[in-house]
Amino acid sequence: MISQAMREQVKSNSIIRAMFEEGKRLAAIHGAENVYDFSLGNPSVEPPNEVKKAILEIINEENSMAVHGYMNNSGFEDVRAAIADSLNRRFATHFTAENILMTVGAAGGLNVVFKTLLNPEDEVITFAPFFGEYRNYVRNHQGQLVVVSPNTADFQPNLEELKRKINMKTKAVLINSPNNPTGVVYSEETIMLLADILREKQKEYGSEIYLIADEPYRELAYDQVEVPYLTKYYENTIVGYSFSKSLSLPGERVGYLVIPNQATDFDNLISAANIANRILGFVNAPSLFQRVIAKCLDAQVDLESYNRNRELLYNGLVSFGYECIKPEGAFYLFIKTPLENDVEFCNLAKEKNILIVPGSAFSCPGYARIAYCVNYATIERALPGFKALIHEVKEQGSSNS
């Protein structure tokens, strides 16, 4: 007798689960090394050495009651101050501990933000393609997710459509750069145009429209591409960050929110976010790992491993005739599927033991996401399958016409 809403979740979830089971079934038949699982965004690069060092130092030297105990729901004050300092050094911002709220990963942080901001039926606008969980996070707090259709030319956000979709009920615009699933980094030009639109619309409606930046992939940017720090472009910005990818700690659930003093209603925002963190049941970000990340703010995973994967996969796929934007960040590559039906294409890929996710799961049919956070050798072994796949699909297409 679960709730009606969860009954629907269980039903739709079981489709993804079936895919997952299929992967395990294939591995049992063909051997795990002959199944090429590009379906999950699970980091494949080890945490940097600094993490182990930090854990051992804290456990051997610090007081165990303080390390494992309750602190303010916003997190340890010294950890928040260290994060503020680090951001200030890197992005010429002016944050203090007061602007930082430690969260249970970025997912926890986004839920805190939506709990803080949303009245029932308030709208949050995001740009397709987007991480499917956004829909759940907004729904958890009785909001409505409004989706701007994808700009498949370059996967920068479709700002003209955004303008048309903003209305009285728009409480926030949610962006994710470097982007899951496209790997695209939103340019400074995009951000400035976006900020102008939001300022204009705030004036038009006499409302506050918060820009929420979900940034778990901030540190995974290649070719020295710059990822603009959004609080510098728009006052009502809230940044959500996670150490899951930058330090390969996805299981530890540690991240933070940045709420700048310039945001409208700052005092209430920061108090409400602190309370939301508590009453949603997070209570606080895990305490040991708050202390660990404070010692690892200048560390990061070996980006070159992901970069090598990116080059191998991108160059291989393009040489076979696949169309895709070269990703500038994150560890995803988003191909146009040679078959219009992306689900059908992903099923064909599965016959070659290649597991990839249909773009439909990101509200962008006709595409597929390849997560290249895998071993280099997995990509090498999978490439012939990708090549055969596009040839077969094209031959099938021409024999049909």
Which residues in 92-111 contact a second copy (CB under 8 A)?
104-105, 107-111
Rounded to whole angstroms, the Cα distance separating 144 from 157 reads: 19
Q: Which is nearer to a second copy, 252 or 328 (CB)?
A: 252
- Contacts with a second copy in 207-226 (CB under 8 A)? 207-208, 210
Question: CB-wise, 59 or 159, nearer to a second copy?
Answer: 59
Contacts with a second copy, 17-56, as mask; x by CB under 8 A: -----------------------x-xxx-xx---xx--xx
Minimum separation from the CB atom of position 28 to a second copy (A) = 17
181-189, 271-279, 335-343, 379-387 -> range binding a second copy (CB under 8 A): 271-279
Rounded to the nearest whole angstrom, what is the least distance from the CB of residue 42 to a second copy in the complex? 5
Contacts with a second copy, 172-201, as mask; x by CB under 8 A: ------------------------------
Residue 269 touching a second copy (CB under 8 A):
yes
Which residues, numbered 132-171, are part of the site for a second copy (CB under 8 A)?
Answer: 133, 136-137, 140, 142, 171
Stretch that binds a second copy, among 92-100, 272-280, 316-324, 390-398 (CB under 8 A): 272-280
The string of DSSP codes covering 7-43 is HHHHHHHHHHHHHHHHHHHHHHHH-GGG-EE------
159 close to 195: Cβ distance less than 8 angstroms: no
- Residue 371 contacts a second copy per CB under 8 A: no
CB of residue 249 to a second copy, shortest distance in Å? 5
Q: Please identify which residue in 14, 88, 319, 396 interacts with a second copy, judged by CB under 8 A.
A: 14
Using CB under 8 A as the binding rule, whether residue 4 contacts a second copy is answered as: yes
CA distance 155 to 151: 5
Give yes or no for residue 10 binding a second copy (CB under 8 A): yes
Per-residue contact track with a second copy, 59 to 98, x per CB under 8 A? x----xx-xxxxx---------------------------
Pair 124, 114: CB distance under 8 Å: yes
Q: Which of 388, 345, 393 is nearest to 365 (CA)?
A: 345
CB-wise, 108 or 338, nearer to a second copy? 108
DSSP reduced 3-state for 182: coil
280 contacts a second copy (rule: CB under 8 A): yes
DSSP structure class, residue 298:
T
Q: Which residues pair with 368 in a beta bridge?
A: 335, 358
Whether the CB-CB separation of 181 and 325 falls below 8 Å is answered with no
Q: Can you tell me the distance from the alpha carbon of 41 to that of 78, in angstroms, rounded to the nearest whole number?
A: 31
Among residues 170, 177, 287, 353, which is the contact residue for a second copy, using CB under 8 A? 287
Using the rule CB under 8 A, give the single segment among 4-12, 183-191, 213-221, 345-353 that binds a second copy: 4-12
Assess 261 for contact with a second copy (CB under 8 A).
no
> Which of 224, 281, 399, 401 is the binder for a second copy (CB under 8 A)?
281
Query: In whole angstroms, what is the distance from residue 197 CA to residue 158 CA?
Result: 12
- Distance from the Cα of residue 21 to its chain's centroid: 24
What sign for the dihedral angle of Cα 50, 56, 60, 64? positive
User: In the bound complex, what is the minimum distance in angstroms from residue 135's beta carbon to a second copy?
Assistant: 9
DSSP string, 303-316: HHHHHHHHHHHHHH
Tell me: does residue 1 bind a second copy (CB under 8 A): yes
The DSSP result for 338-384, as a single string, is SSS-HHHHHHHHHHTTEE-EEGGGGT-TTEEEEE--S-HHHHHHHHH
Contact 239, 95 (CB under 8 A): no
Stretch that binds a second copy, among 25-33, 129-137, 177-185, 364-372 (CB under 8 A): 129-137
List the structure tokens of 131: 């991480």
Kindly state whether residue 275 participates in binding a second copy, applying the rule CB under 8 A. yes
Q: How many CB atoms lie within 10 A of CB 161?
A: 16
**Shortest reach from residue 88's CB to a second copy, in Å:** 26
